[in-house]
Amino acid sequence: MQKPVAAQESAVPKAKRNTWQREAVRGALDSTEGFVSAQALHAHLRDGGSTIGLATVYRALADLATEGDADSLQQDGESLYRACTTDKHHHHLICRVCGRTVEIQADPVERWAQQVAAEHGFTNASHVVDIFGECASCTAARAEA
């Protein structure tokens, strides 16, 4: 049975309103280098005198990632976030040691993903590609040690 039109329209997610908590999370994320966990961001906010709760930080980060204002990745079973510097689809090179992150274009990956999806009859395919390694600085520091 088809839902009434009004019910379908109400199921469309509405834009989140900007609360002081959400803006505090956005500001803290903007001032953080590289990817950060919700717990680390929460600790940073609390150290700055904020009374924001950890659950609120988690919700705000998830919303920012969903809306494209933050990049999100999974590392060792934990979600990490960073302020997104572009609204275009992109990929990352991420240093496993220091967290340095470089946004990269990967046109061959884009073509490959669309080709594989089409071969299997999929449409509207999306993907996430992050490459982990050691940046030049961390590699050099390790070699000197």
Position 15 scores a pLDDT of 52
* CA triple 110-133-59, angle to 5 deg: 70
Architecture of the domain spanning 88-145: 2-Layer Sandwich (3.30)
pLDDT in tens, 78-103: 899 988 777 778 888 888 888 788 88
Architecture of the domain spanning 18-86: Orthogonal Bundle (1.10)
**Packing angle, helices 20-30 and 38-47, rounded to 10:** 100
The three-state secondary structure class of 20 is helix
Q: Where are the domains of the chain?
A: 18-86, 88-145
- The reply to whether 88-145 shares the fold of 18-86 is no
Residues of the chain with pLDDT under 70: 1-18
- Contact by Cβ (8 Å): 134, 96: yes
Q: What average pLDDT is seen over the chain? A: 84
Predicted TM-score of the model (pTM): 0.64
